[in-house]
Structure 1
């Protein structure tokens, strides 16, 4: 009985640890910028149509939800999802924020990912330094991360 209990405890503990290690996608750009400034990591802005864009779903499945990407993201970027769904409800504030960022970065199709440094001045005005952009890249996480690292390393 003790062995079963200990085994169950180990398994549940492992599951809990793995659940805590999942990557966090932010939706509030101001909070993400603050975190970016604190950690000295650039922002990864993921412009997506989560409930209608087939290429967005494919990018998530093949890259953004893989252990390789999650490990890389924790070390290198602050993740921000800027969603433009057709069926999923969003607050008016979130819709407005995402639309303004979509216009600023001149997004023409989905998925689009921008790497950028952002800051907010004392008056609350946000500014960005665009580092580069990438979309769907065939070849799984290694090929996509190669492109992402090229963008991030160009500004070092």
Structure 2
């Protein structure tokens, strides 16, 4: 009986743990296509291996952010230190970072994008650098960017 309870507990923990995983896109083209299909802006996280993980821990790994992001944005993570991506993709990511005026990592940018005749055009909606105010403040600041009045 105890063994059955432990097995059940293991599966429940595994299931609940997986349900809180966010799906971050890493390919710009794929993210843009989904963004346009779902009519949601992109939340672009510019990061690198050397960037502090505070934003990840305090915001992105929370249930509040997961619920909010699923309704409001398409998540795109551009790791500028990722050795697994091609040099062309790395160069494209750096150009986008510079075009958006990102200096410190990690930083979040909100944008709409479209691909027409093989050219990608971005409309920057706003930037949100890390602050230690927590997930509620991050969501409130994000909503101000996404829904200006």
Same fold, judged at TM 0.5 (above): yes
Q: Tell me if structure 1 keeps the 8 A contact 2:114–2:122.
A: yes
TM-score, with length taken from structure 2: 0.87
Q: Tell me if structure 1 keeps the 8 A contact 2:42–2:74.
A: yes
Mapping of 1:108-127 within 5 angstroms?
108-121=103-116, 123-127=117-121
The equivalent residue for 2:93 is 98
Partner Cα distance (1:64, 1:21) in 2: 10
Number of residue equivalences? 148
TM-aligned CA deviation for residue 70 of structure 1: 1.2
TM-aligned CA deviation for residue 93 of structure 1: 3.3
TM-aligned CA deviation for residue 75 of structure 1: 0.9
Q: Is 20-29 or 76-85 further displaced after alignment?
A: 20-29
Partner Cα distance (1:97, 1:20) in 2: 32
Partner Cα distance (1:74, 1:63) in 2: 14
- Alpha-carbon spacing, 1:59–1:21, altered in 2? closer, same or farther (3 Å): closer
Structure 1 runs not aligned, ≥5 long: none
- Taking only aligned residues, the RMSD between alpha carbons, in angstroms, comes to 2.0
> Does the alignment pair 1:142 with 2:136?
yes
- Alpha-carbon spacing, 1:127–1:69, altered in 2? closer, same or farther (3 Å): same
The equivalent residue for 1:69 is 65
Partner Cα distance (2:12, 2:60) in 1: 25
TM-aligned CA deviation for residue 128 of structure 1: 1.1
